[in-house]
Amino acid sequence: MKIRILGRDLEVSEIGFGCMGMSHAYGTVSTQKEAEELIEKAIDEGCTFFDTAEIYGTTEDPHHNEKLLGEVLRPYRNKIVLASKCGIRFDETATTVNKPLIPDGRPETIKASIEGSLMRLNTDHLDLYYIHRIDMTVPIEETAGAMKELMEQGKITHWGLSEASEEIIRRAHKVCPVTAIQNRYSMMYRDYEKLFPVLEELKIGFVAFSPLANGLLTAAYHSHGEFEKPGDYRSAMPQFTEEGLKENNEFMSWMKVIAEEKNVTPAQISLAWMLAKKPYIVPIPGTRKVNRLEENMESADIKLTQDEVKSIDEMLAHMPMSQVFGGSKIQKK
Ligand SMILES: NC(=O)c1ccc[n+]([C@@H]2O[C@H](COP(=O)([O-])OP(=O)(O)OC[C@H]3O[C@@H](n4cnc5c(N)ncnc54)[C@H](OP(=O)(O)O)[C@@H]3O)[C@@H](O)[C@H]2O)c1
């Protein structure tokens, strides 16, 4: 797989591996053996970019994902780019499937979080450390200043922001150059295309999370009943309600047709589409299944022309589709 450059100099594979689902939000949690098989397959496919966060876990083990990766990535640590995130916690009092998030961008929180992440991930530094959501009660300059300190101490080498707006990106970048933003981006969620000019101006990469619209774009899901309750967030996502699935019927049929025309799968078209859009976009699809991981990674071999991208965009602009999950609610402090 080819590499892409995030920011000034962070070299990552064109497609990264979003590791969240192995521990969080999609129901059954992966065993260590399953995780080892997934990571081994990802490495075999040329993937060098692995994404986690301090909050990806289960009720019993809130940091499950970092601990799991700390074990299974150990043999590959020096050959990969490891990214994690800090700066939010769940509102544990909530009873909803996806608990609201409470942002906390205070420097003291970031400095405490990095120690936990380094320990769990069995490493002395992270290659990319994101603030997971923007805390509107803390000036972003303070958060950026804390990231700068972590860099000076060698605990991180690059930093980024997740779900950031242009104004926040510009302010943060002035204090400490930002390597990447990690925002939601898929054929169903294109709002952040408006950030392309600023990312180009400041030379910041775009790591696309939930690039398959949480799985919908694979055209593999047909019934709301397929999702485990209560642990699977998809049971509460608008694109996967019975009504949402019905609203997306025509869209999914079209996805299958354009995929068949290229002799690939809908998941692969979804990822190839964003790879063709900009050279600084790096999708990080997640899966707990080795065959799907292979399918997703091999999207890097599919080349779409700019005319093909344009015609897909034109169809997307008119295609009836449901709302798509926009993330867990942000709780005011
Ligand atoms: N910064 C943030 O706030 C944020 C938020 C969400 C996610 N993320 C990151 O982004 C990564 C990816 O996002 P995501 O996992 O939410 O969404 P996604 O990659 O769009 O979709 C993942 C879902 O699709 C299914 N899937 C994946 N490949 C498939 C295929 N080829 N065929 C059929 N089904 C397939 C997976 O199910 P199976 O596991 O059963 O295969 C999983 O349920 C996460 O792992 C995480 O690292 C970041």
Q: How far is the CA of 9 from the centre of ligand 1 (A)?
A: 26
Structurally, the chain folds into a number of domains equal to 1
Q: Which of 56, 189, 192, 221 is catalytic?
A: 56
Q: Supply the range of the domain harboring residue 56.
A: 3-214+278-304
- Residue 332 confidence (pLDDT) above 80: no
Would 325 be classed as within a structural domain? no
Q: How far is the CA of 285 from the centre of ligand 1 (A)?
A: 5
Would 223 be classed as within a structural domain? no
- Residue 67 confidence (pLDDT) above 70: yes
Would 317 be classed as within a structural domain? no
Q: How far is the CA of 250 from the centre of ligand 1 (A)?
A: 22
Interval 47-61 mean pLDDT: 96
pLDDT band at 333 (very low <50, low <70, confident <90, very high): low
Contact criterion met (CB below 8 Å) for 139 and 175: no
**What's residue 100's pLDDT?**
85
Q: How far is the CA of 220 from the centre of ligand 1 (A)?
A: 13
List ligand 1's pocket residues with C-beta within 6 A. Answer: 18-21, 26, 51, 132, 162, 182, 209-215, 218, 220, 267, 284-289, 292, 295-296
User: pLDDT tens-digit profile of 141-172?
Assistant: 999 999 999 999 999 999 999 999 999 999 99
User: pLDDT tens-digit profile of 270-301?
Assistant: 999 999 999 999 999 999 999 999 999 999 99
- Residue 259 confidence (pLDDT) above 70: yes
Distance CA 257, CA 67 (A): 41
**What's residue 236's pLDDT?**
86
Distance CA 96, CA 200 (A): 39
Contact criterion met (CB below 8 Å) for 186 and 156: no
Share of the chain above pLDDT 90, in %: 89
Told to judge if 56 belongs to the known catalytic residues of this protein, a careful annotator would answer: yes
Structure tokens, 104: 């906390």
DSSP tag of 221 = -
Would 247 be classed as within a structural domain? no
Interval 56-81 mean pLDDT: 96
H-state helical runs in 121-165: 140-152
Which residues, at least 6 apart from 30, have a Cβ–Cβ distance to it below 8 Å? 22, 23, 38, 68, 288
**What's residue 194's pLDDT?**
98
Give the closest residue (by CA) to ligand 1 atom 30.
292
**What's residue 30's pLDDT?**
96
Give the closest residue (by CA) to ligand 1 atom 39.
287
- Residue 44 confidence (pLDDT) above 90: yes
The overall average pLDDT reported for the chain is 95
Would 270 be classed as within a structural domain? no
**What's residue 227's pLDDT?**
84
Would 254 be classed as within a structural domain? no
Q: Which of 90, 133, 212 to mutate to test the pocket of ligand 1 (most atoms within 8 A of CB)?
A: 212
CATH code, domain carrying 99: 3.20.20.100
Which residues, at least 6 apart from 315, have a Cβ–Cβ distance to it below 8 Å? 254
Would 127 be classed as within a structural domain? yes
Would 327 be classed as within a structural domain? no
